[in-house]
Amino acid sequence: MAQHRFSPTSYHNVLGARDPVLRIADGDTVITTTVDAAGRDHENVERAPRPNPMTGPFFVEGAEPGDALIVQIQRMTPTRDTGWTYSLLAPNVVDPEILPRLPERHQVEWVIDRDAQTVRLLEPPKAVADLVLPLIPMIGCFGVAPGMGQAISTATSGRHGGNMDFRGFGPGAVACFPVFEHGALFFLGDGHACQGDGEIVGTGIETSFEIEFTVRLKKNANHGWPRGETASDIFTVGNARPLDQALQHATTEMLNWLGNSFDLDPISASHLLGQVVRYDIGNVFNPAYTVVCRVAKTWLRRPDSTLGWLG
Amino acid sequence: MAQHRFSPTSYHNVLGARDPVLRIADGDTVITTTVDAAGRDHENVERAPRPNPMTGPFFVEGAEPGDALIVQIQRMTPTRDTGWTYSLLAPNVVDPEILPRLPERHQVEWVIDRDAQTVRLLEPPKAVADLVLPLIPMIGCFGVAPGMGQAISTATSGRHGGNMDFRGFGPGAVACFPVFEHGALFFLGDGHACQGDGEIVGTGIETSFEIEFTVRLKKNANHGWPRGETASDIFTVGNARPLDQALQHATTEMLNWLGNSFDLDPISASHLLGQVVRYDIGNVFNPAYTVVCRVAKTWLRRPDSTLGWLG
Amino acid sequence: MAQHRFSPTSYHNVLGARDPVLRIADGDTVITTTVDAAGRDHENVERAPRPNPMTGPFFVEGAEPGDALIVQIQRMTPTRDTGWTYSLLAPNVVDPEILPRLPERHQVEWVIDRDAQTVRLLEPPKAVADLVLPLIPMIGCFGVAPGMGQAISTATSGRHGGNMDFRGFGPGAVACFPVFEHGALFFLGDGHACQGDGEIVGTGIETSFEIEFTVRLKKNANHGWPRGETASDIFTVGNARPLDQALQHATTEMLNWLGNSFDLDPISASHLLGQVVRYDIGNVFNPAYTVVCRVAKTWLRRPDSTLGWLG
Amino acid sequence: MAQHRFSPTSYHNVLGARDPVLRIADGDTVITTTVDAAGRDHENVERAPRPNPMTGPFFVEGAEPGDALIVQIQRMTPTRDTGWTYSLLAPNVVDPEILPRLPERHQVEWVIDRDAQTVRLLEPPKAVADLVLPLIPMIGCFGVAPGMGQAISTATSGRHGGNMDFRGFGPGAVACFPVFEHGALFFLGDGHACQGDGEIVGTGIETSFEIEFTVRLKKNANHGWPRGETASDIFTVGNARPLDQALQHATTEMLNWLGNSFDLDPISASHLLGQVVRYDIGNVFNPAYTVVCRVAKTWLRRPDSTLGWLG
């Protein structure tokens, strides 16, 4: 149950079998930093190229293919007072017919007030002059090496996690990744100070963070896709295009989870999901879109277990 | 501001320019009944064939193409003690590879306890023997005649509304449909006692209802898609496949709404939506899928107006 | 085996249960005219509004739901010397990112040389000044009443046919529609003097035609989707979005056809299709896209039968 | 213009920056061998694991990011007398509803008659007992290192090529890949003795080959996607899901090609493509689907140039 502090000096734009920067054990906690999606650090200095440079990978002792790596996000603290977004909805989230009528997209700056825990535009257009958003940090891109010799761009996502941009992956949440490589090789980065569903301007409010997380291992879990848990819900994550397929992946993973961990045969699980399931949309901007299939713990017979997969 | 009571004696399986059953005025309230998706009434007697037989149409005095018909759902009271669902996830919401491993789908009965305001399976599998759901009624299919001589099946949906199966369309919510025909011609039916996101077993808990609703007209509204409002949110609805396109329609409609009613130019609207938008999934079962684009009223400059489009 | 001449005086923008303009029998031939997609006739006079006004419907004696209506396109003769197209690729067929860089879309005129059997732009841009295309007529939109009280816009398509814009539906080809209404109620229109795959500028070369066709009935056919045949191939047609789903419909219909008419069980049919199937894209512009699943007759055990479903 | 013979001793399941097995120059020809999709060689001995083990990579002297690597497929000779396929349509190419009714999928053997240049099932079901197919070889998976540190599975495809399974990539055809890495790093494998459109049983007739190819470089080409050429056509390739997006990529790349190499501005290119474009479907089985946008050379002003991009 060691606590590690790690200061990265290099970053990765892919998730793959890269040399580990630190070896940690089941139960350990790590405090580290991440640069923003454009590679800028706490001093707004560019330390790495786009897209989404990752801190890591962290080698988790004992992790083997078939296991699951559980990552509890303990804390996310912005390390600077600025963030940035794009100024216009992404072209793929509106009807194509209207695109010629829209203005040009620019990169714009936001001010992060760490005392007030708020975020606002540095130079807001008049119509949103008084827009002050709460600071609600989340991790846009994290996950493990995808195995089979693959090194997958941090622009996209898959079974191994990656650039999912789901706003549910914030402090207090737990993420769980299938392990494909010896040591799991966990990467993280692309922190957002705030983000709506879908990451529909192509960014959250991108900034650098200090992040504290704890890892646990579940042996022989045989998960197919990322999973997660919050105080109130369990959820599964599907990454694909179109959204229809991402939803199929997430729903299938939830069906498996309910069957394996909660003794719900497909018909019982269908009765439950049919009436209580919630779907969230992670991103609809990246090459793979992200759909989350979520069930409130109150509907599960073991609502008092901390985590279905830790129980 | 009259109040009408209307007892239907026939039903429609399309939304189109059918003879009106009642003429009502802007501000009027109607109390009527609906049969379930299979045409069964309060005595569980089949009164009309599938799919989704509609009560109506109601002719709204003064409604003309280009206007918007605002429908406030005042109350939904189940009129019998039973409902039904299918027993298995629909084949299109899971990975196709697993379908051969799933059991057969059946129609199953639910018990609606109108005193306790709960719903439970009549003969539950053991694993969900203690599943008791809250009664949370919603309208699965409603809308107006689609214009241009079209008569569109109540199995699907479009700009005119229809079979959207969005659980947000319950008592207290307001729905708003673009008007395409003289008199609007409003239809409603397919009530659900409960339903999760996506209607992923192919049904909600289907039953018959008494429904009370009030209509209002917004002249020359020029909406493109259904809109809605709850105590906390405004929302727009896109109906299409894949979900990606439904999301484009809903987002574009919200962009137009924010521009026309809230003075947010595309860049200001993008700043807001990028950080606060929420997407809900109506159905992922019908020929057209449904995505809802939602914004909390707290983010709008006129949060005290009852309705953005009534204000 | 009568031959009818029919001159339309009114047109329909939906396929539905409209009053028949003519009653014809199994084996009869009809010679009639169609206006172009914008309703313009042989004198370029607008006779009906958009979209795709239809000639018909023709009531086929003896046709009942469950039958199939076979339509042989005997001849298509343009009735004027001009046609029109849009001047730019439709926004949905290119990457959304490039749309802001493209010029505006206009309607442009083409010259149809009926003697030379060619088509060329009236005022071509310099870069295509010498572009002369062969006159290869096809029917963009035809089909039958969709049943269940539906009246479906000629802008879209479905199981009943409609706006499929498949260039294979030209003279010599046979189309086959599932019958959903008493009398079938056959409509046709939207003739193109030429068209590439996908109708990617949103039109073919739109013009008015004289069309000669012969109908036949296949009783109790129980087809699910339109089918067709040429001198060399049989094919099935799926209409839906995304293309993935249209392809699923067309492939499933072919699997059924090979099973029912050619004694190929699913494994035998898979062996054949896996190695010889061809897919064509009808339109990728309309609300429903069109995919054609095609098999050369040379691979079928009854290659000498005129038509698999007539045999 | 050297001719190299290369016998691989190891294989790759990703396309990435792996150590080159041979350095070749612009204009050189290579004769090498490939194992089948399951790693089996000319003796049917498994030499490498699935999926689609690649021969290579070949380092092309002078190739730099931004260039294009032109690969002429000179010859493909099967190196054994057997191949294999799956026995059933893939679950994603038919309507999901029918999947529970289909039989199980098996791997089946085919006999390749190299003298007769034909292929037939070893133990055919009775209904296809006399099915004899022509030997029409093609390369299922080939391409270059994708750059940015990525190593992309040979199960899928992208801008770098990969598992496109387009039957047009056979002897006589030319493929052209954007270069992302110093030396291009060209890989090839996954040869098919025959395959229909879409690779809809999940395989072509998988076997091992001797392949002869010639490479050429086009400097500073700045292509976005693979391109190709046959005796009669030029074509572009888009790889993505859904097919709609693959078609957008391919069409956009063709628009760019027509603009840059054939002086067709967007409107002139639209006039041409709208009337003459052909779309082919590569695969609809892999994680990314493949659509080919094709134009007959007869429509281009430089039809006598060997290759538009070599001209």
Calpha distance C237→C280 (Å, rounded): 9
- D142 Cα to chain B: minimum distance (Å): 27
pLDDT at C241 over 60: yes
Residues in chain A with CB shorter than 8 Å from the CB of D151 are 14, 16, 149-151
Residue A150 C-alpha, separation from nearest chain D C-alpha, in angstroms: 5
To which H or E segment does residue D245 belong? helix D243-262
B96 to D91: CB separation less than 8 angstroms, yes or no = yes
What pLDDT band is residue B310 in, cutting at 50, 70 and 90?
Answer: very low
Give yes or no for a cis peptide into A242 (omega within 30° of 0): yes
d(CA A14, nearest CA chain B) in Å:
26
Residue B136 φ then ψ, to 5° = -130, 85
Rounded to whole angstroms, the Cα distance separating C271 from C262 reads 14
Report whether C175 contacts C226 (CB < 8 A).
Answer: yes
Cα–Cα separations (whole angstroms), residue A203 to A66, A103, A196, A213 = 33, 18, 10, 23
Give the mean pLDDT of D60-89: 98
Evaluate if residue A133 carries a pLDDT over 80. yes
Mean pLDDT of B85-97: 98
C159 vs B: CB within 8 A: no
Which residues on chain D are in Cβ contact (under 8 Å) with C261?
none
Contact list in A for residue D16 (CB cut-off 8 A) is: 149, 151
Question: A140-181: per-residue pLDDT in tens?
Answer: 999 999 999 999 999 999 999 999 999 999 999 999 999 999
If one counts every other C-beta atom within 10 angstroms of the C-beta of residue C103, the result is 12
pLDDT the model gives residue D311:
40
Burial environment of residue A123 by CB neighbours within 10 A (0 to 12, 13 to 18, 19 or more): exposed
**pLDDT value of residue A301:** 80
Give CA–CA dist C248/C237, Å, rounded.
10
Residues D109-134 have a mean pLDDT of 97
- Taking phi over 0 as left and psi of -120 to 50 as alpha, with beta for the rest, A256 belongs to alpha
Residues A91 and A191 in one domain: no
Q: Is a pLDDT exceeding 50 seen at residue B183?
A: yes
| Per-residue confidence (pLDDT) for residue C14, from 0 to 100 | 98
User: Do the domain assignments include residue B307?
Assistant: no
Q: Is residue C225 part of a domain?
A: no
Q: Are residues C73 and C148 in the same domain?
A: yes
Residue of chain D nearest A244, judged by CA positions: D242
In a domain, B59, yes or no: yes
Query: Same structural domain for residues B244 and B161?
Result: no
Of D99, D104, D242, the CB nearest to B99: D99
Which comes out higher in pLDDT, residue C270 or A304?
Answer: C270
Mean pLDDT of D58-87: 98
Asked if residue D158 has pLDDT above 90, the reply is: yes
pLDDT the model gives residue D143: 98
B128·A271 Cβ contact <8 A: yes
Q: Are D15 and D151 in contact (CB under 8 A)?
A: yes
pLDDT number for residue B48: 98
| A60 & A15 share domain | yes
pLDDT of residue C1: 85
Q: Are residues C151 and C124 in the same domain?
A: no
> D118 falls in which pLDDT band (50, 70, 90)?
very high
Is the per-residue pLDDT at D306 higher than 60? Answer: no
Task: Say if residue B116's pLDDT is above 60.
Answer: yes
Please choose, from the candidates D253, D259, D293, the residue with its C-alpha nearest in 3D space to the C-alpha of residue D276: D293
Provide the pLDDT confidence category of residue A307 given band limits of 50, 70 and 90.
low
Residue B161 CA to its chain's centroid (Å) = 7
**Terminal Cα-to-Cα distance of chain A (whole angstroms):** 19
SS3 for D260?
helix
Considering CB atoms only, which of A149, A240, A241 is closest to D151?
A149
CA distance D255 to D267: 10
Q: Which two tokens stand for residue D43?
A: 């003796």
pLDDT of residue D1: 85
* Cβ-based neighbours of D268, under 8 Å, separated by 6 or more: C124, C125, C126, C127, C128, D258
Reported as a pLDDT band with limits 50, 70 and 90, residue C307 is low
Mean pLDDT of C206-232: 97
Chains with at least 3 CB pairs less than 8 angstroms from chain C: A, B, D
Residue B176: burial class (beta carbons within 10 Å; 0-12, 13-18, 19+): buried
CA distance C18 to chain D (A): 31
Show the tokens assigned to C83: 């046609």
Contact B96 D97 (CB under 8 A): no
Would strands B22-24 and C289-296 be described as parallel, antiparallel, or unpaired?
A: unpaired
pLDDT at A251 over 50: yes
C242 contacts B150? CB cut-off 8 A: no
Distance from CA of D86 to the nearest CA of B (A): 14
Interchain CB distance below 8 Å, C91 and A99: yes
The letter for the amino acid at A291 is V
Q: Does a cis peptide bond (omega within 30 degrees of 0) precede residue B178? A: no
**In a shared domain, residues C126 and C13:** no
Q: Which of B54, B70, B63, B67 is nearest to B187 (CA)?
A: B54
The answer to whether residue B266 sits within a structural domain is yes
Contact A100 C97 (CB under 8 A): no
pLDDT greater than 60 at residue B307: no
Tell me: the pLDDT tens digits for C62-95?
999 999 999 999 999 999 999 999 999 999 999 9
* pLDDT score recorded for residue D302: 65
Supply B105's token pair.
Answer: 């789908």
Domain count, chain B: 2
A23-48 average pLDDT score = 98
pLDDT at A306: 47
**Alpha-carbon gap, residue D269 to D236, rounded angstroms:** 14
3-class secondary structure, C187 = strand
State the smallest CA–CA distance between residue C73 and chain A in angstroms: 35
- Residue C253 sits in the same domain as residue C114: no
The last residue of one of the domains, among D211, D234, D257, is: D234
- Let me know: does D66 contact D184? Beta carbons within 8 Å: no
Q: Are the Cβ atoms of C91 and A104 closer than 8 angstroms?
A: no
What is the mean predicted confidence (pLDDT) over A31-56? 98
Does any domain span residue A112? yes
Provide the chain D residues 9-68 that lie in CB contact (below 8 A) with chain C.
none
Residues D274 and D204 placed together within one structural domain of the fold = no
End position of a domain, from candidates D201, D234, D267: D234
Segment D189-197 shows an average pLDDT of 98
- For the record, the structure tokens of D2 come out as 């050297």
Contacts of D247 in chain C (CB under 8 A): 93, 198, 243, 281, 284
Cα gap C165→C163, rounded to integer Å: 6
Q: Which helix (H) or strand (E) holds C276?
A: helix C266-276
Q: Specify the 3-state DSSP secondary structure of B52.
A: coil
Find the CATH number of the domain harbouring B263. 3.10.28
Chain B 57-116, CB below 8 Å of chain A: which residues? 85-89, 92-96, 98, 102-103, 108
- Work out the average pLDDT over A60-77: 98
Q: In the numeric block, which tokens belong to residue B266?
A: 């595309």
Identify from B94, B99, B101, B285 which residue to disrupt to test chain D contact, counting D C-beta atoms within 10 A and taking the largest count: B99
Strand residue runs (E) in A179-297: 186-192, 209-218, 227-229, 233-240, 278-281, 289-296
Average pLDDT, chain A: 96
Count CB atoms within 10 A of the CB of residue B298.
9
Chain B residues with beta carbon closer than 8 angstroms to that of C150:
14, 151-153
CA distance B251 to chain A (A): 6
Fill in the DSSP letter of residue A251.
Answer: H
**Confidence bin at D310 (pLDDT 50/70/90):** very low
pLDDT band at D24 (very low <50, low <70, confident <90, very high): very high
The identity of residue C53, as a single letter, is: P
Buried b (16+ CB within 10 A) or exposed e, C215-240: bbbbeebebbbbbbbbeebbbbbbbb
Round to whole Å and give the CA distance between A300 and C26. 62
pLDDT per residue as tens digits for the range C186-203: 999 999 999 999 999 999
- Chain A residue with the nearest C-alpha to that of D145: A151
What whole-number distance in Å separates Cα of residue A79 and Cα of residue A69? Answer: 27
Which residue of D92, D148, D152, D180 to mutate against A (max A Cβ within 10 Å)? Answer: D148
pLDDT single digits (tens) C122-176 = 999 999 999 999 999 999 999 999 999 999 999 999 999 999 999 999 999 999 9
Vertex C64: Cα angle to C58 and C66 (nearest 5): 120
D150 to A14: CB separation less than 8 angstroms, yes or no: yes
Q: How far apart are CA D66 and CA D178, in angstroms?
A: 7
If asked whether residues B244 and B189 sit together in one domain, one would say: no
pLDDT average, residue stretch A20-28: 98
Select from A96, A104, A242 the Cβ nearest to the Cβ of C91. Answer: A96
Is residue B225 assigned to a domain? Answer: yes
Whether residues C205 and C167 share a domain: the answer is yes
What DSSP designation does D91 have? Answer: G
CB atoms within 10 A of CB D141: 30
Token digits of residue B107:
């129609």
Closest in C243, C251, C275 to D194, CB measured: C275
Whole-number Å distance between alpha carbons of A137 and B142: 39
Please list, in sequence order, all residues whose beta carbon lies within 8 angstroms of the beta carbon of residue C148, skipping any fewer than 6 positions away. B13, B14, B153, C180
- Identify which of A99, A104, A242 has the shortest CB distance to residue C96: A99
Tell me which residues of chain C, numbers 246 to 275, contact chain B at a CB-CB cutoff of 8 Å.
none
Q: What is the pLDDT of residue A302?
A: 65
Confidence of residue C301 (pLDDT cuts 50, 70, 90): confident
Q: In this structure, what CATH number is given to the domain that contains residue B122?
A: 2.60.120.580
Torsion sign (Cα): B241, B245, B249, B250: positive
Query: pLDDT value at position D268?
Result: 98
Show the domain range for B257: 237-299
Say whether residue B299 is in contact with chain A using an 8 A CB cutoff: yes
How close is the nearest chain C Cα to the Cα of D95, in Å?
Answer: 5
Helix (H, G, I), strand (E, B) or coil at B200: coil
Of B86, B264, B266, the CB nearest to A88: B266
Rounded Cα distance, B256 and B259, in Å: 5
Question: CB distance from B197 to chain A under 8 Å?
Answer: yes
User: Of C12, C16, C240, which has the smallest distance from its Cβ to B151's Cβ?
Assistant: C16
Q: For residue B304, is it within any domain?
A: no
With b meaning 16 or more CB within 10 Å and e meaning fewer, what string describes A226-264? bbbbbeebbbbbbbbbbbbbbbbbbbbbbbbbbeebbeb
Whole-number Å distance between alpha carbons of C108 and C205: 10
Please identify, among D204, D234, D264, the residue that sits at the C-terminal boundary of a domain.
D234
Does pLDDT of A224 surpass 80? yes
Residue D307 banded pLDDT, cuts 50, 70, 90 = low
Instruction: Tally C–D CB contacts below 8 A.
Output: 200
Residue C71's H or E segment, with its range, is strand C68-78
ipTM: 0.97
In the structure encoding, which two tokens stand for residue C159, read together?
A: 């199981």
Closest CA to D35 of D286, D206, D163: D206
Residues 6+ away with beta carbon under 8 Å from A149? A17, D12, D13, D14, D16, D151
Measured between beta carbons, the chain C residues lying within 8 angstroms of B245 are: 241
* Residues A96, C99: C-beta atoms closer than 8 Å: yes
Alpha carbon distance C309, C178 (integer Å): 12
* Nearest chain C Cα distance for residue B39, angstroms: 15
Q: Are residues B208 and B250 in the same domain?
A: no
Measured between CA atoms, how close is C288 to chain B, in angstroms? 9
State whether D229 and D255 are in the same domain.
no
**Sequence-ordered list of residues with C-beta below 8 angstroms from that of C146, at least 6 positions apart, any chain:** C15, C16, C152, C158, C159, C160, C180
C282: nearest Cα among C156, C179, C184:
C156
Question: What's the pLDDT tens digit per position in C21-64?
Answer: 999 999 999 999 999 999 999 999 999 999 999 999 999 999 99
Give the gyration radius of chain B's Cα atoms. Answer: 19
DSSP D214-236: EEEEETT---SS-EEE-SSEEEE
Domain membership of residue C165 (yes or no) is yes
Contact C150 B245 (CB under 8 A): no
